[in-house]
Amino acid sequence: MSQYILALDQGTTSSRAILFDHDGRAVGTEQQEYRQIYPAPGQVEHNPADIWESQLTVAKRVLRRSRISAEQVAAIGITNQRETTLLWEKETGKPVGNAIVWQSRVSSGICQRLKEAGVGDRLREITGLLIDPYFSGTKLTWLFENVEGLRSRAERGEILFGTVDSYLIWKLTGGRKHVTDISNASRTLLFDIHQQEWSPEMLEMLNIPAAILPEVVDSSGLIAETDPEIFGKSIPIAGAAGDQQAATFGQICYEPGMAKNTYGTGCFMLMNIGSKPRLSENGLLTTIGWRINGQTTYCLEGAIFIAGAAIQWLRDGLEIIAHASESEAMATSVEDTHGVYFVPAFVGLGAPYWDAEARGLAIGLTRGTTKAHLVRAALESIAYQTRDVLDAMNRDSGIRLAELRVDGGATSNNFLMQFQADLLQTSVHRPVILETTAMGAAYLAGLGIGFWESQAELTKKWVIDQAFEPAMTSDEVDKLYRGWTRAVERSRGWESS
C-alpha cells in the first residue's frame, strides 16, 4: 500500500488537513472555518472545542474522501497558529475559558507595566522577542490576574498551559502527552533561546507557575502516538512547528540568508540566520526556526498582524466585495488608488513598529474615491507592510535579498505579487505548491520517521510557478512609499492620544 503523511494545519480562521505523497504532492485537502469571538475592541478569542472539533473533522474527512486508510498514514505533522494561549484541566481536559488568540491585545496594560519597569532589554536578550501583547506570556499573566482561583490551581499542578500544537497533541494522545515543539516554545516569552529551555527569570518576571509548562521537544522525530480510538489505529506524530517556521521549512529556506513571506491572516517574513541567534536592532524578532536531531536553526522574523484579514474585513465588515477572489479584478479596474492609503492597524502595528496603540485608517479620501480605490489600497497595504519588514531585515542581516519566496492564499493575487516585486525592487518567486505551511509540517514529520531521507532530498521538490520581476522605476516606488510612511505615522498612538 502507498504511504502518506497527514499534515494538520490549525490556523487562525480555519482548520485544514492535507495528505502528501512521497513526491510532495497534495493528494487530498479538507478545510473548515470556525467561529471568531470578539469580546471587546482589540480582543480576539477562540473556543478550544471549535479548534479541536474542526481539526479532527477535517482530518477524518480527508482520509475518508481520499479513500486512504489509517494504516496508510506513515506519520502526522502538526502546524499551528502561534502564540494563541490555552489553559485546561489536567484531569478532565476541560478548557479554562476560551483560547486567547495571538491577535488579541488583552494584555496591553501588562505590557505597558513591563515597559515602565525597564525590563525590555533583558527580556529581548533571553527570548529574542519584544514586549508586546502578541506573545503568550503576557496573556498568561493577564489570565492569572483576572480569573479567580486560577493561580492557586495552577500552582497545585491542576492546570496545563499550551499553545495550539500542545493542545492538539494532548487531545490526539488522549491526554498522555503534554509537549510543545521548540519553535512554538520560542514564541511564548518564557523560553531562553540560547539555553533552549524554559527561563526561570522570565517565569519570575511574568509571575507564571512552572507547573503548567509542557515538555519541549524537537520539531522532527517521534514526538508521540495518537490514541488508537481516534483513527482506528495508533499513528506516530513525528513533526510539529509553528505555522511560520513550518512555512519556512516547506519553502526549503535551509541556507542562511534565504527568506520567505507568508500572506495569510497576517503576514510573516522569516530569514534563516543559521545556527546562532542574532538579536535585531531594527524591530524584528529572533526566533527558533526548527530543531532536528538536536541541531537548531534560528531565524529573524517580521510579523505583520493584518494582511489577508484586511480583505476579509472588506468582505464581511464593509461588504464591498462578496468574495476575496474579487479583489484583484476590482483593484486592476482603476489605474491607482487615487491617492488613498489604507493602514490596517486594527489590532495595532507589528514589526518594525510594535505599536499596540495604533489603529486602522484610510487617508487621502476625496469625493472621487470609489470602493475599487479602497480595495486596491487595502491590497497595496499588504505589500507596503512587507517592504517595512524587509528593509529592517536587510539592515539587520547586511544581506540584500536576490529573491523572496512567497506562499499563502493571497499569493494567488497576481496584482499583489507584481506590486510587491515593484515595491521591494526584488524578484518574487511563487512556488507551484502554495500550501507550504502544511508541507513544512509534513516534511518535518516525514524526516522524523525516515519517509524522506534528508533535507537535500526535499530541496529537489521545490518548483517555481511564476517569478514576478520589478517593473516600476525606483523613483516611482520612492514616491509611493513616502506616502505610505506618512499614513502610518498618522495611525500610530491613536488609543493613547
pLDDT single digits (tens) 296-344: 999 999 989 899 889 999 999 999 999 988 999 999 999 999 999 999 9
Query: Residue 52 burial by CB count (10 A; 0-12/13-18/19+): exposed, middle or buried?
Result: buried
Q: Tell me, what's the pLDDT at 361?
A: 95
Identify the CA nearest to 98 among candidates 32, 31, 52, 156: 52
- Is the pLDDT assigned to residue 496 strictly greater than 80? no
* Confidence band, pLDDT 50/70/90 cuts, at residue 221: very high
Which whole-number Å values give the CA distances from 8 to 174, 237, 370, in the listed order? 17, 10, 40
Residue 120 pLDDT > 80: yes
Determine whether domain 4-244 maps to CATH 3.50.50.60: no
Q: Residues comprising the binding site for ADP? A: 12, 16, 265, 308, 409, 413
Q: How far apart (Å, rounded) are the C-alpha atoms in residues 468 and 414?
A: 9
Q: What angle do CA 110, 115, 119 make, to 5 degrees?
A: 110
> Which residues make up each annotated binding site for ATP?
12-14, 265, 308, 312, 409
Position 397 scores a pLDDT of 80
Instruction: Find out whether 14 and 54 touch, Cβ atoms under 8 Å.
Output: yes
CA distance 17 to 54: 10
- CA-based radius of gyration for the chain: 22
The pLDDT value recorded for residue 463 is 86
Instruction: Give the residue ranges of the annotated binding site.
Output: 12-14, 16, 82-83, 134, 243-244, 265, 308, 312, 409, 413
* The pLDDT value given to residue 403: 87
Q: Which three cell numbers stand for residue 174?
A: 488522549
Predicted confidence band at 356 (pLDDT cuts at 50, 70, 90)? confident
Binding residue positions for glycerol: 82-83, 134, 243-244
Q: What is the pLDDT of residue 266?
A: 83
Poorest-pLDDT segment among 58-72, 179-193, 271-285: 271-285
Count of CB atoms situated within 10 Å of the CB of 69: 13
- Reported as a single tens digit per residue, the pLDDT across 433-483 is 888 999 999 999 999 999 999 999 999 988 899 999 999 999 999 999 999
The pLDDT of residue 497 is 58
Q: What pLDDT is stored for residue 147 in this prediction?
A: 92
| Whether the Cβ atoms of residue 288 and residue 297 lie closer than 8 Å to each other | yes
Beta bridge partners of 46: 99
pLDDT in tens, 14-43: 999 999 999 999 999 999 999 999 999 889
Whether the pLDDT of residue 240 is over 80: the answer is yes
Unique residue bearing C-alpha cell 538579536: 279
What is the structure's pLDDT at 435? Answer: 83
Mean pLDDT of 253-257: 90
User: What's residue 231's pLDDT?
Assistant: 96
d(C-alpha 20, C-alpha 26), whole Å: 5
Of 313, 304, 167, 302, give the one whose Cα is nearest residue 240.
167
pTM of the model: 0.87
Q: Which pLDDT does position 42 carry in this prediction?
A: 83
CA–CA distance from 438 to each of 29, 82, 126, 265, 404 (Å)? Answer: 10, 14, 30, 15, 19
Q: Is the pLDDT at 402 greater than 80, yes or no?
A: no
Return the domain boundaries, the chain. 4-244
- Which residues belong to the annotated binding site for sn-glycerol 3-phosphate? 12, 82-83, 134, 243
